[in-house]
Every structure is written in C-alpha cells, then in structure tokens.
Structure 1
Amino acid sequence: MPWVVKHGQDVEVPDVTEKGLEEARDILQKRGLLLVVERQEENEELPEGAVISQSPPPYSWVKRGRRVFVAISRGARLYEVPDVRGVSQRQAMLILDQIGFKTGTITGQPSYEFPKGVVISQIPEPGELAGKDVLIDLVVSTGPPELALMPDLVGKSLQEASDLLERMGLRLGRVTYQSSLEYLPDTVLRQSIPAGGRVRKGAEIDLVVSKL
C-alpha cells in the first residue's frame, strides 16, 4: 500500500503490529522512522519476536526521523508441568485443568503395579516447561493383564499349536527342532509353559518340535 507524505516532512506511521522485529524495522525505515524496542512482554497469541503494540499508533502523522517505540513478544509464558503419575485419570485431568493445561491423548495399558484407572506415565514429563497450548498425554492403567489358561500343545502339529495359541490370545515364540523317531515331523514335543498354568494374554510360548 503506498504511503503518504504531507507538508514535506510529515509521514504516516505504518501499522507494524504482529510483524516480526526485523520486518517491522524495515517497514519503518522506509518511512524514515526509527524503531526502538521499549519492552518485552509474554504473550499467549503472538510468537516470540513479534510486535505487540507501538507508539505512536498506526496511521498517525509524525515528523521524519521520529522514533517509534514497540513492545515485543517473548512468546507464551511457560509453566512447569505437574506430576500426575500415580493419581486417578479424573484427578489428573482436574489438576491439569486447574493449572490451565489440557489433556491430550489417553492410552490404556495393562499394569500389575498401578490399579485400574491410575496414571502410569505422561508426556511431557513432570517438571518440564511448556506453554498452555501444549496437550498433556496420559498412559492410564487398565489393571492387571488378562490371564489365559495354557492349553496342552504336546502331540499337536506345529500349525495346530500355532492356531490354538492365536485363538487363546497367545503368541508363538521360539521354535526349536529336535530329532524324534516316536513322533511325526513338526509335532510339538514340549512347551515352555506347562498345560493348565495361567499366562498373561499376549505372552510368547516357546515350543520344541520334532524332526526326522
């Protein structure tokens, strides 16, 4: 936008609010004005280095060579992230809300150590500094892992054993082969957890399987 000069030496002060410091300085210099940083302030809306306010105000008329005083943003104020580990999800959200933080993603995770509904961990970590726009992600206990009854796999083919483990919510672990004249090839000879035992779902079960 073209700028206006009147009476030979008077110029219209441009609006440099929300501009970066160097950009604002260049704009004012082109009008024959001098930028002076008067103070720095925390600001939740403008990034660090942006002009918050100016004096004289925009669109006023001043003499060439006049100084324009500006307040510069330090960026958003940083706050210490509280430690909400070990408290209930509801209590953690209340603590964060009281300080001004918002809860981000909540992820469930089985745990023997933490009761169901209690916060296991958080990101950002406790004690870190963050702006109020940062979301605090929580990992919350879903209680002890669900247990499955270990099936008897001995005598079954490797494929049958693998399929059965999958249906039980278990995983096939390491398979070791051992020569055997008694069993057909790929028959389960031993299993790492005895049949009838309790095992957490998702656990890996190692097998010893026959070969010629």
Structure 2
Amino acid sequence: MLPALGSGVCVLSRRRDCGEVRATVAGMIRIVVLVLAAAGLVVAAALTTADYLSVADVRLPDVRGVPYADATERLRADGLRVLTYPELDAAAAPGTVVSMTPPSGSVVRGGRTVSLGVNAGAEARQVPTLVGLPERDALARAADLAIGVERVVYVSTDRPVGLVVAQRPEAGSLLDQGEALTIEVSRGVDGNPIDLPDVRGMTLDEARALLTEAGVRRVDAVAADLSFDRPNTVTDQRPIAGSEVMPSTPVTLVYALEGTRVVRVPQVEGQPLWQAQLAIRAAQLALGPVRLVDDPTRPAGVLEVRPAGYTVVGSPVALVVNGPVQDVIQRDLDREPFGFDRVVPGDTSAPPAEPDVPAPGTTTMQADGSRLIPFRFDPSQVGVASLTREPYRLTLVVSDAEGERTVLDRELAAGEGVVTSIRIEGDEPLLQTFINGSFFQAWRP
C-alpha cells in the first residue's frame, strides 16, 4: 500500500528517492543561471563594441597660424580634446598655434587629445612663482621658461638654507624682452664670523670636510676644468681664502673633472652651423637636435647651446641656429676623425689645407696600395682647456692590416697642434689618440 501524499514522503517511481530529485533540480537551476550570465556578457560586449564603432573618425585640420582660442574651438567642435604648451617662435604672432601633435591631416578617433604648441611671444612673459623653491629648482624653472635670472642675493633669515624667500618682479607680473629676475635665497641665521681656510690643491672631499669643520654651513662645487692626472682637485674658491665671512655665507669650490670621462661643451655661439658641428665632434660629442630660426633682427649662426659647461663623452648637444635652412650641411661626420676641418664648397671662410698634407676628408692612394690620410689635432678645438695652458704629450696609435703601431709620439707645448699625414693599410683601420698616456679618442677613417 502506497503512503499518503500528506505524510511528507515523496511519491515517485519505484527506485528514485527524494535526494536524487533535489540534486537534479539544483543542477538544472545552476545551468540556467550560467546560461543567462553568459548571455548578459555577450550583450554587454556587443553594446560596448557598438559604442566604440559608432565613434566617428576625424581628419585633423591644420590650425597652425590660427589664434589659440579659434583653434581650440574648432577642434572641440570636432569632438576632440585639446592640450596646450608654450613655445617661443619669433616668426609667429603671440597667442597663435605654431605646432600640433598629431600633425594636421592625421585621421584619429573622436575624443582623442590633440596637443598644441602656442607661441608665448617674446614681447612679454609671465613671471612664475619661485618663492618657496630650492635655489637650484628655481633657476631650472626660470631656464625652462627662457627667463633670465640677473641676480641671486643671499640673505640672513630663519628659513631653511638654500630656499628662495623673495623674488623681483613678483609672480604673475609680465617681463618685457631682455628683462630678468632677481631672487633672494636664505642663508640661514648668521652666527660669529669665521676666516676661510685655503683649500686650493685639496681634493673635493678634503676641502668640504675642512670648511665644514671651520663652521661653513653650505659648500657648493662647480666643475670648471679638466685634469688627466689630478681629477676632483680644487683649483679655486669663492670667496677667496682669508676672507672673513658669516657661517651662513655659501662657499663655492671650483674643481677639475677627470679628463677621460667628461669634456667641455665648446663655445660655438655666433659660429656657422658647419663650424659648430666640427667643434662639437672634435670635443667627442654628438650633434643633437638643431632648431632653425630665421630672425633678421638677430645675428646669423648659433644662438643657443645646450648643455653648457661640461658633459659626458658622447652626449648630444642641441643647437638653435639663426639662418636659412639651406645653410645646413651634412650632419653625419662619423667617418671623419675628431679635429678635422670640412671645407664647405663656396665658403671662403673655411680654413685652407696645409701644403703637402691631403685636404681634410680626402685620401691619397700610394703606389704600394696603401693610403695616405691627413691627421690634424688642434688643442683649441677638443674641449680640454688645460691643453692650451700646459705642455702635453700626444700619441697616435694605428691598428690596420700591418698590425698595431705607434705612428706619432710627441711632446708638445701648450696650445701647440699637429698637422701631418698618416699611412694606413687595409679597409678598416682604427686610429686612437692618447694624451699624457690616457686614452682620448678613436675613429675609423
């Protein structure tokens, strides 16, 4: 006899109990939930793809030369975002667009950000806020904005040493062309005066330790020379030794860098580009970006050089050159030794070749199959000031098909150069120069 339905006992087929039924139903429910979730993901992906595909492509108009406000309005009307940054262009009107990224004519998606370079104009520039910055950061900030700092005054305050506490003109003011800033830098609270010891000839670390022991609170170091035998040696100090100064007065140490790793950036302002290239290559540096301007109100030739002072061997040097584009000559000098002069056709200012020496950049074939090439070393063009002040030893080593050999080993007076011819064998010779026994440069002619 079968149990009644109300007794709480399932009535099913002969061998299936209630637990099996519940497990089957739960599994079916899970399957249905997973199917619905997958369907939802597919629908969401389809909607997202549809939204992306529905964004229209935009061909960027050319807004260079257009006032900033008009250019921004035009680009935003096309569904684009606009980001601006200042530029200086003497040939463009202030407030106009002088560059754009991506360039005009590019096809981009709606909503893309377009960067516009807006001419800040040379007539007036806005003074940035420098108060509260460390002195070094303040000077770097002014340099980035092409604003000169005419004077740095150190004053006694209770503010941290080295912090800018005042500036003239004030932040937000407009500077006329040629006008510069004056900043005041805290030197801390003054104490009793001290007599500065003479630290010239000491190593940089020894000089710092002695000055600190004497009570000097701030010691700055500036590299202003190269040395092949005594790097990191103090060559000068400011204020001079014996001066009576307050403990908060900054003391600047001038020292020599190791000549085998760093070089002085040559001073090429005012030179034509071809001559600046030669000087940069002769200093074991690379010619970096060259920005050409055509401003008849300024002298022709190189206007700006970055970096200045000293830099690491092989570093790029950026130039701003005033003059027509056609004055630019071939920039690839990799196959010419440092110190060679290149004669520019039609340029009578280029130095002439010496008698009995092949012209720069040329090769003379000999009857035995060897080649005769010119070698020129001018100490005034290699970025090492000590070679123009002190005697030095120049060695030239050639490695070619005949092996390695020394072809020049000469003691030279301060500022004395060498012009001669070198015989080489084979297709891939290597030339190396050494100064006072230290490696200086190498090249393949």
Q: Which has the larger radius of gyration?
A: 2
| Higher strand proportion | 1
Q: TM-score, normalised by structure 1?
A: 0.39
| Higher helix proportion | 2
